[in-house]
């Protein structure tokens, strides 16, 4: 068994695709409209689906916003340098909600960015990782 994808419901698919592709650098792997169900599925990721886990962005055509709830945490992405990645994300118009720096009670350098629907994405610096 292996993890295939994580699904996020998004209010504006084009805006979300821009964030995940233009700002975070993922690729649009596939997209399909389901007119009878009034929804669109788009799959994005850094690898092809047969090589690694991806994100499924689900856009229900008649829903513009969702309550994320207090059970959702975040998506995590490994990066070489969290400081440089935050600078790049900001230069592309992304929102950094926690600047890069050591995590509380540890040494791992992390940062958080937020997508257009309010989902948090953690950036974890993998070089020189201590915990």
Quick check: is 99 catalytic?
A: no
Candidate list 49, 51, 122, 130, residue with the active-site label: 122
Q: How far apart are CA 104 and CA 93, in angstroms?
A: 27
The CA-based angle 63-64-66, given to 5 degrees, is 85
HEC letters along 36-92: CCCEEEEEEECCCCCCCCEEEEEEECCCCCCCCCCCCCCEEEEECCHHHHHHHHHHC
Residues noted as catalytic: 122
């Amino acid at each position: 068994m292996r993890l295939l994808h994580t699904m996020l419901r998004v209010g504006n698919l084009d805006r979300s695709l821009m964030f995940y592709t233009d700002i975070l650098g993922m690729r649009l792997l596939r997209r399909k409209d389901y007119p009878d169900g009034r929804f669109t599925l788009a799959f994005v990721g850094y690898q092809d689906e047969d090589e690694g886990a991806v994100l499924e962005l689900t856009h229900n055509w008649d829903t513009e916003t969702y309550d994320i709830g207090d059970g959702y945490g975040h998506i995590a992405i490994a990066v070489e340098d969290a400081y440089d990645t935050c600078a790049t994300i900001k230069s592309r118009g992304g929102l950094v909600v926690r600047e890069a720096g050591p995590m509380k009670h540890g040494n791992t350098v992390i940062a958080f960015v937020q997508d257009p629907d309010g989902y948090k994405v953690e950036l974890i610096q993998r070089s020189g990782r201590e915990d």
